[in-house]
Amino acid sequence: MAKNQASLLLQKQLKDLCKNPVDGFSAGITISHFVYLKVIACDVEGGFFNAIMQFPNDYPVSPPTVTFTSEMWHPNVYSDGKVCISILHPAGDDPNGYELASERWSPIHTVESIVLSIISMLSGPNDESPANVEAAKEWRDNRAEFRKKVSRCVRRSQEML
């Protein structure tokens, strides 16, 4: 898909998202050389967590990356804030055999489907294939300590408002 066509598709998807917003989510946009940075704030347990959604030049052939800029304690978020969910992994077979090709990126995904997947991930972690092994272990074995760390992140996010 040509860069202009990809840009038009992304603009349409963002416009559609603004017309039909997703609960618990708000957005702002910065555009730089077809690197669209999508700032999202997800309302999770009363906290507001910011992230950047960065789209490649060949979107929708390739998936965007999503990185939280707010402190996060979650099994599916790396320590650098990068989100690890199947639909953001490149299309095709998983070289490690953990995911089916049907669970990975497909050009049919939209900004909205990505946002909904992230919101779902935040409320229901996948601890079988964690990005943050310590958070996944706490999620499984010590839910009280896990919630304590999440609450700390929530408080810090509220202080940033």
Establish whether 84 is a catalytic residue.
Answer: yes
Residues whose CB is less than 8 angstroms from the CB of residue 39 and which lie 6 or more positions away in sequence, other chains included: 27, 28, 29, 30, 50, 51, 52, 53
| List of long-range contacts for 121-125, beta carbons under 8 Å, 24+ apart | 121/74, 121/76, 121/83, 121/85, 122/42, 122/44, 122/49, 122/74, 123/44, 125/74, 125/75, 125/76
Q: Which two tokens stand for residue 24?
A: 């618990």
Residue 149, CA distances (Å) to 75, 98, 155, 157 in order: 12, 28, 10, 12
Catalytic residue numbers read 84
